[in-house]
Structures are given as C-alpha cells and as structure tokens.
Chains A and B, each alone.
Chain A
Amino acid sequence: MRWIWLSAVVVSAVAGDLLQSREMKTAGEAGAPGLGRVLKLAVTRWKLLLSILCMAISFFAFLALVRTEPLSFAVPASAASFALETVLAKFVLGERLAARRTAGAILVCGGIVLVAR
C-alpha cells in the first residue's frame, strides 16, 4: 500500500506543478502578476484549477502515507517528485537544463534526502 500512496503523492505533485508552470507562463508575459490577479486566474482557468486539485490530492495522499509509514521514509521518498519534475521540465515544458542547473538540482535532491531522514 505504501507504494500506491507514494505514487499518488509523486504523480499528482508532478502533474500539478507541470500544469501550473505551463499555464502561468502565459500570464507572465507582462511581468509577475499580483496576488489578486493570480487568484482571479486560479478560479477562471481550468488548467490552474486542475493543478490546484492535483496539489490537494498530493497533500492528502501524503497525509495517508505518513499515517502508515514513518516520516523518515515519506519525506525523502516524496522528494522523488523533485527529480521527476526537473527531468519533465526539460521534456514536457522545453526548459533548458544547462550543466550548472543540473548539478545544482542533483545536489539539492541529495540534500533533501539527507535533511529529511
């Protein structure tokens, strides 16, 4: 069961962030929008609503995971979403992962696993 909850945490977090990143880019052409405008976008654009729903699913799946598994497993394991999102940001969102950014992401990912243990 732990792997089912963990998959739900990771998959929904990744889907939520990818959707949110793609949708918000179209809103950022004239600079970062203020909180009021973000709130308006969040309730009027279905992809943003879906991304928030995905994040809520990830949050509740995480609660279910920590109900049966120790935090020392749940937190580092859910950091898998960090690695997956970085890779998918390249292939799905078309972001350029230069050497510095890739090295930094690997260091941060390893650091999260150590900090969360």
Chain B
Amino acid sequence: MLSWGGLKWVFAIGTTHKTALEDRGRAVAWRLIVFVTLLKPLSNLFLAWGMKELPSTLAVNPLLFLRAMVDPLVVIGILMQIVWLLTRMSLLSVADLSYVLPVTASGYVLSALLGRIVLHEQVSASRWLGVAMITLGTVFVASSPRITVAPEGRQR
C-alpha cells in the first residue's frame, strides 16, 4: 500500500526543481525552529540549577563568576547557549527576524511548563493567559510567509 510519504513523492515528480528546494528549505527551517525553541529554556534550566548552589552575591563578585564557570551544570548550560546562538544565526539566514522572534518565543511556554512540571512552581492564572497568548501569536506568525526579503534587502 502506498504511504502518504510515498504519495507525496509521486506527486513531487514533475514539479520543478525550485519547488523541491523550497520544500527542503522549509523542512530545514522548521528543524532549526524546533531546536532553537527547545534549546533556550533547557540551557536556562541547566544554568539555573548550576547557579542555585552559588551565593547570591554572584553578580557583584568576579571571582564567584569564575567559580560558576567551572561548575559542570553551568558549563553544560553555557555550551548549550553557544549552540543555541549558532543555530539561531543559521535560522536567521533562511527566515525573517520578524518571523523568528515570535515563533521561537514559544520557548517561554516551555519554560512555564518546565517550571510547573520539573520545579513544581505555582503558575498563576495571568501567566497561563500569557502562555495562551504566546501560543496563539506563534500560530498566527507561523502561518505567514517565512521570508519576505532577499539578501540585498529588496522585498520578495
């Protein structure tokens, strides 16, 4: 029996090379969006775990900052932040800034959920309303064209 993936492949035959490239570009962009969105709250979680062990005077004491840099959890958090930055840069090469910002803001939703599930934090009604607004806004933006500007700055 022919699967949906197979059907799509059959229908793809005869379409232009450009369309195939666009489909591939869309798939790559979505993989990057998912990665960027998940990595940020996860790296924040590792940083928060690592920093929790350190005194609250961390921000005013450079020596404590250096100590924080060798904490294994903080190191993992920093490495994840570096990978997040590079991945986001890659995403910005194939999507508008005004598209990337709201779509990847769904990380705030994940942060609220992680706080509730992993750290057992209380999430207020207004915060859940914020989560709903971000989710709805992300759906709106995600349904708009991913890129509207060519490299030279002219509109597509």
**Which A40-77 residues have a C-beta within 8 angstroms of B?**
41-42, 48, 52, 55, 63-64, 66-67
Contact of A25 with B92 at beta-carbon distance under 8 Å, contacts A94-B155, A105-B102 already known: yes
Chain A 83-104, CB-CB to B under 8 Å as 1, else 0, gives 0011001100111111011011
In the bound complex, what is the Cα–Cα distance between A17 and B99 (angstroms)?
A: 13
Q: Which residues of A contact B96 (CB under 8 A)?
A: 21, 89, 93, 95
Cα A83 to Cα B87 in complex, Å, equals 22
The answer to whether B144 and A104 touch across the interface, beta carbons within 8 angstroms, is: yes
Range class of the B interface residue count: 35 or more
In the complex, the answer to whether A112 meets B130 with C-beta atoms within 8 Å is yes
How many residues on chain A are close to B (CB under 8 Å)?
A: 55
Chain A, residues 5-28, CB within 8 Å of chain B (1/0): the string is: 000000000000110111011111
Identify which of residues 110-152 in chain B touch chain A, using a CB-to-CB cut-off of 8 Å.
111-112, 126-127, 129-145, 148-151
In the complex, the answer to whether B134 meets A115 with C-beta atoms within 8 Å is yes
Query: By the criterion CB–CB under 8 Å, are B140 and A107 in contact?
Result: yes
Q: Is the CB of A95 within 8 A of B94?
A: no
User: Inside 8 A of B32's CB, which chain A residues have their CB?
Assistant: 32
CA–CA, A103 to B92, complex, Å?
21
The answer to whether A104 touches B102 (Cβ under 8 A) is yes
Q: How far is the CB of A56 from chain B (nearest CB, A)?
A: 10
Which residues of chain A are within 8 angstroms of B150 by Cβ–Cβ distance?
A: 25
Whether the pair B97, A108 counts as a contact (CB closer than 8 A) is no
